[in-house]
Amino acid sequence: MKKTFLDIIRCPLCKSNFGLHVDSEKDDEILEGKLICSQCEEEFPIANSVPNLLPPELR
């Protein structure tokens, strides 16, 4: 996932912006980490550069 993607995605639960926690990255691409909603504080994993934006009960 590119960091610029944060400018366009929103939390699927409350529509707020995300914060970002990066575990690993390469060439300005996030490989592993998590998106953290700034409003509801739900966490969404990033694995193999792909963010999982499904609600927690559907992951």
User: What pLDDT digit, counting tens, does each position of 25-48 carry?
Assistant: 999 899 999 999 999 999 999 999
Query: Average pLDDT over the chain, rounded to whole?
Result: 95
Report d(CA 52, CA 32) in Å as an integer.
11
The answer to whether 37 and 22 have CB atoms below 8 angstroms apart is: no
pLDDT of 59 reads: 86
pTM for this model (two decimals): 0.90
Q: What is the mean pLDDT of residues 2-20?
A: 95
- Say if strands 29-37 and 50-51 run parallel, antiparallel, or are unpaired: unpaired
- Judged against a pLDDT cut of 90, whether residue 12 lies above it is answered with yes
